[in-house]
A and B are shown apart, each in its own frame.
Chain A
Amino acid sequence: MMRLRKQTGRIENIKSVFEVETGSPDDYVIALAGNPNTGKSTVFNSLAGLNQHTGNWPGKTVNYAQGKYVYEGIQHILVDLPGTYSLMANSADEEAARDFICLAGPHATVVVTDATCVERNLNMVLQVMEITDRVVVCVNLLDEAKRKNIKVDLAALSSLLGVPVVGTNAREGQGLNELKEAVYQVASGSKKNRPIRVVYDQEVENAIGLIEPLIKDRTGDEAPSRWLALRFLEGDNTAFLAYKNLVRDDCKEKSDDLATLSSESSSMLGKQMEIDDFRDRVVGSLVKLAEDIGGKTVYYKNEDYNRLDHKIDSVVTSKIWGIPIMLAMLGLVFWLTIQGANYPSEALAAGFFWIEERLTQLFVWAGWPDWLYGALVLGVYRTLAWVVSVMLPPMAIFFPLFTLLEDSGYLPRIAFNLDNFFKKACSHGKQALTMCMGFGCNAAGVVACRIIDSPRERLIATITNNFVPCNGRFPTLIALAMIFIAGTSGPCQSILASLSITGVIVLGVVITLSVSKVLSKTVLKGLPSSFTLELPPYRKPLVGRVLVRSIYDRTLFVLARAVVVAAPAGLIIWILANVQVRNTSILQLCAQALDPFAYYLGLDGYILLAFILGFPANEIVIPIIIMSYMATGSLIELESLSDLRNLLVYHGWTWLTGVCTMLFCLNHFPCGTTMLTIFKETRSKKWSLLAFLVPTVTGITICFLVAQTARLLGLV
């Protein structure tokens, strides 16, 4: 519950709209705002530690993290707002940040800024100060500034802005206590800020002067009426509407006069200037004031301070080296992941098998029935163990490596290098990054789509992420490529296998780009789109922090969701394989029913069924195929590749079956974890359904065409 500025109507509304979880009404709610790339999340993590969780903005696809810490005996609830350049509500993120500061009325708002570009960040600071007096400015990344010989006069900045300014180096934990103290003083009201007011040019001020009293009339004295008037004059009445509905629902009877107010402001403005012109002047004044303050408080002792960044960029984004370096980096990450994952995977599998034996002994000792043993141990436990031992090691290697690249600032350069390809496909260069992430895990790739700020491109990246084969599908692709394309022996085997895997990846990328283009020209046509790509300064990543963050935020997150879907699936698979109807298992009956359709796709009923049953995790597709061919009741793995080849060929596989299975593996519905994530991210059944259908239909079409062509030409 939130206690805010003693407005009775407000508290209940806010509680329901912003899911802020406070323990007691005396808790302080602190918002954390700031531009992207200022280390805002580092400040958040350093303050809240592991006391945090993520949630969604109600009805929106903007995610925010909440955390808490105790200072001076008072619990501070920290709300991490989306990183934005402004509060003008150009995007869902900006609207969410604006609404929180304006409507939820936190006890204090901390604006995190980057010490190496204070002036630019001040734009955001000034905008926040227009909404609320209760601001603390945090100048973060002081170490980077020092390294670049940039000096920020914090005291002067504080006196010019009229709010507390605290310098921090959140990565090392420096300045956090001072920040907590400043926040406490502002939140408790023991320190009254006297924030500087942005003065606009005469015409803008005149317009404000006319509209502000009208707004004040309707919202009361507590409202940031000057700020609301500005938004209103800009033709953006959402802020006013939101404020009125949420905060002052007692004045709903006046709702009809919104139209009056609207027309009044536009007619008055219309006489003097266009809305675009008005906005130019407003932003112009903000930026000029920021420039002025920045000029008085920041000293660049070395104008060439970002020479190293430019040097690195001139290599990693150069015409000759840009793309080769990128491929080498990504190749190294994948190689380390695939090679490095083998040993821990084996160790985990051995460990899980040891536990299974103990469980078996327990069941025998207790004399529990066979069906219970089968369902729980051979079904649920074995599937779970399988998924964890196959999924965990590659993710635990891939995600930290990827986060390392992310932290160093290299990833935006990949987007920069590749944007032209994505532009031709009507999507965003950052999609390259979400695709890279998809190689690790499509669910994580879908989460990564948050970095794309334009709604249309974000959806495109979400829906097409599955065309990138994830860690769970790689082993299947590799095994089949070895058996059916490269042949199990001969000197060229590994080269041929590598080439075919590369071919699959290239095919996946081509399909991604084509589907992206089709989507943006059809279903997603009307959605707004924009392109901005900041190339932030390079920073030395902190290995410890990277490890913690990638394990907590990504690996465990994905694993937990996988476990949730794998456990019940293990039970279902076991039941299907073991419940007999007229001497045939349900599994075989289903496979037989699917067989005619699967034949058209170059597959057979068992393969198709394995993909369907593999919905919880793609890792178990091959084990299910083996299980059904060998007519055993639980998942097993064969000792060697040639055993697998013999089994498959014995059951009628040809090279065409191999190729079609690989194609279907690349193009079919996302796994359960990914579907769940897509739904959570988009909050839309429609888009989730589309994300399900698009790859499935693509896969069916491609397999059908390949199989029929091969048969027509008599190749099989």
Chain B
Amino acid sequence: MSELTPLNCLAPGNAGIVRRLLFQGSERRRMLDLGLICDTIVKALRKSPSGDPVAYEIRRTVIALRSEEAAKILVECMSVGA
């Protein structure tokens, strides 16, 4: 398995596959309910004007996540264009 990157480090335009969630309890449940389970593909779409939050495409929906939360989602980067 290649190295894992926190989601907030993913540059806009790139995608990653969710491998681990560092949340616990109810925060974790909220993330799961957004469809963020293991093996889900997440694509960073764009940053807001001040750089945070960042909009991600998760299961055909656009969800904005703050950097603190995105940092707790570990993804495996997909090669660009994949």
Which A residues fall within an 8 A CB radius of B?
Answer: 85-86, 88, 90, 116-117, 119-120, 123, 276, 279-280, 283-284, 287-288, 309-310, 313-314, 317-319, 322-323, 416-417, 419-421, 423, 429, 528, 530-536
Contacts and interface: CB of A to CB of B under 8 A. Distances in A.
A217 B40 CA distance: 39
Label chain A's interface by main secondary structure: helix
Contacts of B46: 313-314, 317-318
Contact of B38 (A284, A323, A533): A284
Contact of A416 (B25, B38, B55): B55
A23 to B, nearest CB: 37
B48 A88 contact: no
A120 B69 CA distance: 21
Interface stretch (B3-11, B58-66, B71-79): B58-66
Interface in B13-45: 21, 24-30, 32-35, 37-38, 40, 45
Contact of A88 (B27, B29, B35, B51): B29
A323 B49 CA distance: 7
B2 interface: no
19 contacts: A90-B29, A90-B30, A90-B33, A117-B60, A120-B59, A283-B29, A283-B33, A309-B62, A313-B45, A317-B46, A317-B48, A317-B49, A322-B49, A416-B55, A420-B52, A423-B52, A429-B64, A530-B26, A536-B62
Contacts of B69: 531
B64 A318 contact: no
Contact of A535 (B34, B35, B51, B62): B62
Contacts of B38: 280, 284
Given A90-B26, A90-B29, A419 B64 contact: yes
A689 B20 CA distance: 44
Given A423-B52, A530-B26, 20 more contacts: A86-B29, A117-B59, A117-B60, A119-B60, A276-B25, A279-B29, A283-B32, A313-B62, A416-B53, A416-B55, A416-B64, A417-B48, A419-B53, A419-B66, A420-B50, A421-B50, A531-B53, A531-B66, A534-B62, A535-B64
Contact of A528 (B26, B34, B35, B63): B26
A429 B53 CA distance: 10
B61 to A, nearest CB: 6
Nearest to A309: B62
A116 B53 CA distance: 24
A648 to B, nearest CB: 43
Contacts of B32: 279-280, 283-284, 287
Contacts of B29: 86, 88, 90, 279, 283
A239 to B, nearest CB: 14
Contacts of B25: 276
A416 B64 CA distance: 7
A200 to B, nearest CB: 13
Contact of B49 (A287, A288, A319, A534): A319
Given A120-B60, A276-B24, A86 B52 contact: no
A122 B24 CA distance: 24
- Chain B interface residue bracket vs A: 20 to 34
Contact of A287 (B26, B35, B48, B65): B35
B33 A534 contact: no
Given A279-B28, A317-B48, A531-B69, A88 B61 contact: no
A535 B28 CA distance: 21
A85 B34 contact: yes
A266 B35 CA distance: 26
A283 B29 CA distance: 9
Given A120-B35, A317-B46, A535 B53 contact: no
B35 A123 contact: yes
A427 to B, nearest CB: 12
Given A88-B33, A279-B32, A532-B34, A420 B53 contact: yes
Given A88-B29, A90-B30, A120-B35, A534 B24 contact: no
A420 B37 contact: no
A530 B37 contact: no
B61 A120 contact: yes
A582 to B, nearest CB: 63
A323 B21 CA distance: 33
A462 to B, nearest CB: 22
A317 B47 CA distance: 8
Nearest to A537: B62
Given A276-B25, A279-B29, A416-B64, A533 B53 contact: yes
Given A313-B55, A317-B49, A420-B50, A117 B30 contact: no
A535 B38 CA distance: 23
A420 B63 contact: no
Contacts of B50: 417, 420-421
Contacts of B33: 85-86, 88, 90, 123, 283
B35 to A, nearest CB: 6
A470 to B, nearest CB: 27
Which 4 pairs between the two chains have the least Cβ-Cβ distance?
A420-B50, A86-B33, A283-B32, A322-B49
Contacts of B28: 276, 279-280
